[in-house]
Amino acid sequence: MTSKTKISKGFQTVVPSDIRKRFDVGPGDILEWKPTENGVKVRFRKKLSLRDIAGIVKTDERTDAVELKKRAQRGEKF
């Protein structure tokens, strides 16, 4: 299924409702745009909640807080 949207004068667009529902996209989530040879790949990154990041630090390993924060911001699961 293909969905189409327009880009406004302010360079904004709307995520179609069928796509929002299918991928559970909501306010605060992020769209990542990655150029490819054939066009653009768009990926949704969910906004992380405290519940999502709780327990990502393991006490038996040496950790780097900055790297953990970057990984969490990229939406990587631990």
Do 38 and 63 lie in one domain? The reply is: no
Buried-state track 6-43, b at ≥16 Cβ within 10 A, e below 16: eeeeeeeeebeeeeeeeeebeeeeeeeeeeeeeeeeee
Displacement of CA 34 from its chain's centroid (Å)? 12
> What is the pTM assigned to this prediction?
0.55
pLDDT, averaged in runs of 10, over the chain (78 residues): 89 92 89 93 80 61 75 72
Could you tell me the residue range of the domain that residue 57 belongs to?
48-78
Q: Tell me, what's the pLDDT at 67?
A: 80
Are residues 38 and 56 part of one domain? Answer: no
Same domain, 52 and 23: no
Are residues 19 and 25 in contact, defined by beta-carbon separation less than 8 angstroms?
yes
The string of pLDDT tens digits covering residues 40-55 is 999 998 776 666 666 6
- Here the CATH number for the domain that contains residue 29 is 2.10.260.10
pLDDT of residue 65: 76
